[in-house]
């Protein structure tokens, strides 16, 4: 027992002596000190990086713009702003420890005033800073061109807004379903294509409600957009549409395709007038059918996103190269 205790004591003594030698060894002290000195710049570098991101973030910030009633363009949507997500950007850069503009992460900031906050008024265009245009196709005839037009839209993976006359929808439910199944937006274009400006209040309501009922029965949902036939309306028409939860939609670029222009004429007419936020008016005509492929190609090449009216009116920002959500 005594011998066993002596061995244990000797072992513990040797371990203790070895530990003392290491702790007191100048070489070990230098090594520990080096580790400490190396750690300081790393921490400082990270802190400096965070401060640099915070300091430079203002350079990239763009204020949100509220929806408003414009003197010329009437009701106009707002547009999201952007600001740097500092924490997310820091997480993206901290591995390298240096500021990199290409690794900035942005978040969108919503406006304070939205379309729904504004009184009823017609909408002619989207926000002028949004590099998007909406293609609208008013349908009351032209069945023979619809399949080809839909095929061209599918080729470019583009969705349009089809404003459909109720009477036509009642007679052509399969075509209405075809449009809807293609992912396109369907709006109300009245029931019998009257001059809404000179239609009685009672008949305005009938024109809109009858069309909504037919469309709902066909595709299971009612439109939230209304396009007055021939663009003719009075203030009461807009008010009644609003009471039915529909925005009244006009246009800024007219193809005048019902006059059967040549492809060259139609393209020149549209491209000469095209702008950010434009709403393009077309119909299922031979001219539009023949021109659509080249038109979509040219609009895309010019940097426009072509989409539905609802997407055009959405406040979500389409960011350019400097603003894009880099690093995602």
Question: Could you give the CA distance from residue 152 to residue 224 in angstroms, rounded to a whole number?
Answer: 25
pTM: 0.81
- Across 73-95, average pLDDT: 93
Report residue 81 CA to chain centroid gap: 12
- CA distances to 65, 69, 162, 250, 262 from 230, in Å: 31, 23, 15, 9, 22
pLDDT, position 96: 86
User: Lowest-pLDDT range, 3-7, 66-70, 219-223, 320-324?
Assistant: 320-324
List, for residues 35-58, the tens digit of each pLDDT value.
455 554 555 555 788 888 888 888
Task: Select from 246, 230, 307, 244 the least CA-distant residue to 276.
Answer: 307
Count CB neighbours of 287 within 10 A: 21
List, for residues 164-211, the tens digit of each pLDDT value.
999 999 999 999 999 999 999 999 999 999 999 999 999 999 999 999
pLDDT, position 324: 44
Tokens found for residue 51: 């401060």
Q: Which residues pair with 253 in a beta bridge?
A: 280
Please give the CATH number for the structural domain made up of 120-313: 3.20.20.370
pLDDT, position 33: 57
Q: Beta strands 81-84 and 106-109: pairing type? A: antiparallel
Which residues have CB under 8 Å from 46's CB, separation 6+?
94, 97
Question: Could you give the CA distance from residue 303 to residue 317 in angstroms, rounded to a whole number?
Answer: 15
| For the chain, percent of residues with pLDDT exceeding 70 | 83
Question: Could you give the CA distance from residue 132 to residue 312 in angstroms, rounded to a whole number?
Answer: 6
More confident residue, 49 or 140: 140
Task: Select from 293, 306, 282, 311 the least CA-distant residue to 137.
Answer: 282
In our burial notation (b when 16+ CB lie closer than 10 A, e otherwise), range 79-100 reads: bbbbbbbeebbbebbeeeeebe
* 326: pLDDT strictly greater than 50: no
Task: Select from 208, 207, 210 the least CA-distant residue to 225.
Answer: 208
Domain limits, the chain: 1-60+79-112, 120-313
Tokens found for residue 221: 């949902």
Residue 168 in contact with residue 139, Cβ under 8 Å?
A: yes
pLDDT, position 38: 52
More confident residue, 318 or 147: 147
């Amino acid at each position: 027992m005594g011998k066993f205790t002596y061995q244990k004591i000797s072992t513990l003594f040797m371990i203790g002596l070895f530990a003392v030698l290491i702790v007191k060894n100048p070489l070990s002290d230098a090594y520990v000190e080096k580790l400490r000195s190396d750690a300081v710049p790393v921490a400082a570098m990270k802190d400096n990086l965070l401060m640099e991101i915070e300091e430079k973030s203002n350079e990239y910030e763009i204020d949100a713009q509220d929806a408003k009633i414009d003197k010329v363009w009437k009701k106009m949507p707002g547009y999201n702003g952007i600001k740097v997500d500092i924490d997310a950007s820091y997480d993206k850069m901290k591995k390298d420890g240096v500021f990199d503009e290409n690794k900035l992460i942005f978040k969108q900031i919503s406006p304070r005033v939205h379309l729904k906050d504004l009184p009823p008024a017609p909408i002619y265009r989207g926000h002028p800073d949004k590099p998007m245009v909406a293609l609208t196709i008013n349908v009351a005839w032209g069945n023979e061109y619809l399949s080809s037009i839909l095929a061209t839209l599918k080729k470019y993976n583009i969705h349009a807004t089809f404003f459909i006359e109720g009477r036509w929808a009642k007679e052509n439910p399969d075509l209405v379903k075809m449009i809807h199944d293609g992912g396109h937006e369907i709006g109300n274009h009245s029931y019998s294509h009257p001059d809404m400006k000179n239609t009685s209040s009672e008949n305005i309501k009938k024109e809109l409600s009858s069309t909504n009922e037919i469309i709902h029965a066909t595709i299971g949902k009612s439109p939230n957009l209304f396009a007055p036939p021939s663009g003719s309306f009075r203030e009461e028409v807009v008010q009644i549409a609003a009471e039915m939860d529909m925005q009244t939609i006009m246009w800024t670029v007219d193809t005048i395709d019902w006059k059967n222009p040549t492809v060259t004429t139609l393209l020149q007419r549209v491209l000469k007038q095209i702008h950010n936020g434009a709403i393009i008016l077309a119909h299922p005509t031979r001219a539009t059918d023949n021109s659509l492929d080249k038109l979509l190609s040219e609009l895309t090449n010019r940097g426009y996103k072509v989409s539905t009216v609802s997407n055009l009116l959405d406040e979500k920002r389409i960011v350019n190269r400097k603003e894009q959500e880099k690093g995602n």
